[in-house]
A and B are shown apart, each in its own frame.
Chain A
Amino acid sequence: MTLLEVRGLSVHYGAVQAVHEVDFTVEEGAVVSLLGANGAGKTSTIKAICGAAPYRGSIRFRGRSLPQNAARVRAAGVGHVPEGRHVFGGLTVADNLRLGGWGKRRDRSSEIYQLFPRLAERRRQLAGTLSGGEQQMLAIGRALMGEPDLLLLDEPTLGLAPVLCDEIFDRIRDVSAMGSTLVLVQQHTSRALALADYVLVMRGGRVIARGIPDDFADEEALSAAYLGDEMPHGGLNNLEKT
């Protein structure tokens, strides 16, 4: 079943158009990787879906149009782990999680602490004093507190040491295994490809390639495509499966 359907999505910042007429769908239970170099328009796309950036076009979730209001999108069942984590540094870990459960009856924090034992040890600590990796775990945990049906993760390993990246990816795999549908934004390919059921590549605000991970086995062609290098041997045309 289609969970998310994005049609003709455009995002403008004043005169700058960051996203051009983007179309894609996300099936229930899938992991979709959204790849692309810096400035490709990935974050703008995610923010539009989350109601955190104004857009033109249609975004439907479970067949219904999503409101352009972050709080209501969240209430509709879409969780957002924003780029740059955006945890509340002056609040404790526990309070950050508590806010993630805004409007929810059930308190999922014990599940979150099970998933991220490091957070459990630090629940009384201020989020601002956590390491980058721990803050990322907190940002994921905070989004999961809202019991989302769809979780959008925007560069969850940005700026983290490789061991931490592995740990974060393991946890993301756990979340996926629990049945959540994920959209995973990444600049680096290998981990994202390993986890994905479906891959979208953006460049210059457009989806320039899409397919299952096997289609992108030729990593060189993929890198060329999303890093914006000149196409060496028509690699992009081979990728274009739309």
Chain B
Amino acid sequence: MMQYVASGLVSGGIYATMAIGIVLIYRASGVINFAHGELATFGTFVVFACWSAGLPLPLALLIGLLVGAVASPCIEAFVLSGLRRRTHLTEVMATVALFLALNGLTLAVFGEETHEFPALVTGPPIEAFGLVMSRQSILVLVVVAGLTLIMAAMFRFTRLGAAMRAVSESRESAELAGLPVRRIVWSVWAVAGMAGVLAGVLIAPIVYLNVNMMIDVLTKALAGAVVGGLTSVSGAITAGLLLGVGESLVAGYVSTQLATPFVFLVLVLALVVRPQGLFGSAPKVKL
């Protein structure tokens, strides 16, 4: 039982990391960014390419994070801002199109092979409290916990964090207060992009690096973001972790085939029973 919970927390941690990005972007731009997962895949491939070219892994990781931090705001700056008629429908169509385009681009640049991705930590699995966990799994948990703390500290204590919250609360008020709204929104996308690449690098050693590796993760992260209320970072993290654990328990005790449907069943249930999510306020937009 605890073994399933532990492995569920690991995949849930990855969903949570992706869900954070989805929520941040939604709060800043009011957009569900379907391309978020593919951006993460692309960044992860960049890390892999740099590492394969002989760069040390930490440096390769840094480059990948930078790619995420630059590419993600470009979606807002060049695609979404460029939409002639910016409605929720055109925004969704644009990010879905980008999802496919980025998937194709990654395929074209890096090929369709599956690669073994270097683990950030190596060594034999660790046994404690009757659990056996790979070091990579433990790393995932540590990173997710660390990321949560860093995010919370950024939003609470830094001026940029306060500005991000202000823009999420009311773009108009932020504009009237003379804040550089566009640059603040781009910063949010950059943070989300980095979190996405980080999630990719964390999961790649577990599922192997492949063009399509984030599709499943993204859909589950989306479920987590929605169940968590779409506007709440803590809600997304909690829901992501819970979905991961639930999925793992269903796979362990019921059937592996039902694990993924379980996640989306929860999503549908959540939309029916509690559309504002676990912690979220009433949804601002309808899709």
- Measuring CB to CB, which residues of chain A are less than 8 angstroms from any residue of chain B? 47, 50-52, 70-71, 73-75, 79-80, 82, 86-91, 95, 98-100, 102, 142-143, 146
- Measuring CB to CB, which residues of chain B are less than 8 angstroms from any residue of chain A? 159, 162-163, 165-166, 169-170, 172-181
* Complex Cα gap A89–B169 (Å): 8
Quick check: A80 and B177 within 8 Å, CB to CB? yes
Quick check: A86 and B170 within 8 Å, CB to CB? yes
State the main secondary structure of chain B at its contact with A.
helix
A70 to chain B: which residues have CB within 8 Å? 175-176, 178-179
What are 11 residue pairs bridging A and B, where the CB atoms are less than 8 Å apart in the complex? A52-B175, A71-B178, A71-B179, A71-B180, A88-B166, A90-B165, A91-B165, A99-B163, A99-B166, A99-B177, A102-B163
Quick check: A87 and B162 within 8 Å, CB to CB? no
* Complex Cα gap A50–B176 (Å): 8
Quick check: A88 and B170 within 8 Å, CB to CB? yes
B173 to chain A: which residues have CB within 8 Å? 82, 86-88
With A86-B172, A88-B170 as given contacts, are A95 and B178 in contact (CB-CB < 8 Å)?
Answer: no
With A98-B159, A102-B159 as given contacts, are A88 and B180 in contact (CB-CB < 8 Å)?
Answer: no
Quick check: B176 and A102 within 8 Å, CB to CB? no
Known contacts A99-B163, A102-B159; 5 further A-B pairs (Cβ under 8 A)? A73-B178, A82-B173, A86-B173, A88-B169, A88-B170
**A72 vs chain B, min Cβ distance (A):** 8
B179 to chain A: which residues have CB within 8 Å? 70-71, 99, 102
* Complex Cα gap A74–B163 (Å): 15
* Complex Cα gap A71–B176 (Å): 9
* Complex Cα gap A52–B177 (Å): 9
B172 to chain A: which residues have CB within 8 Å? 86
**A95 vs chain B, min Cβ distance (A):** 4
With A71-B181, A98-B159, A102-B159 as given contacts, are A52 and B176 in contact (CB-CB < 8 Å)?
Answer: yes
Quick check: B169 and A90 within 8 Å, CB to CB? yes
With A50-B176, A52-B176, A80-B176 as given contacts, are A98 and B162 in contact (CB-CB < 8 Å)?
Answer: yes
Quick check: B175 and A99 within 8 Å, CB to CB? no
* Complex Cα gap A143–B166 (Å): 15
B174 to chain A: which residues have CB within 8 Å? 88
* Complex Cα gap A73–B173 (Å): 15
Closest A residue by C-beta to B178: A74
B180 to chain A: which residues have CB within 8 Å? 71, 102
**A241 vs chain B, min Cβ distance (A):** 33
**A46 vs chain B, min Cβ distance (A):** 10
A91 to chain B: which residues have CB within 8 Å? 162, 165-166, 169
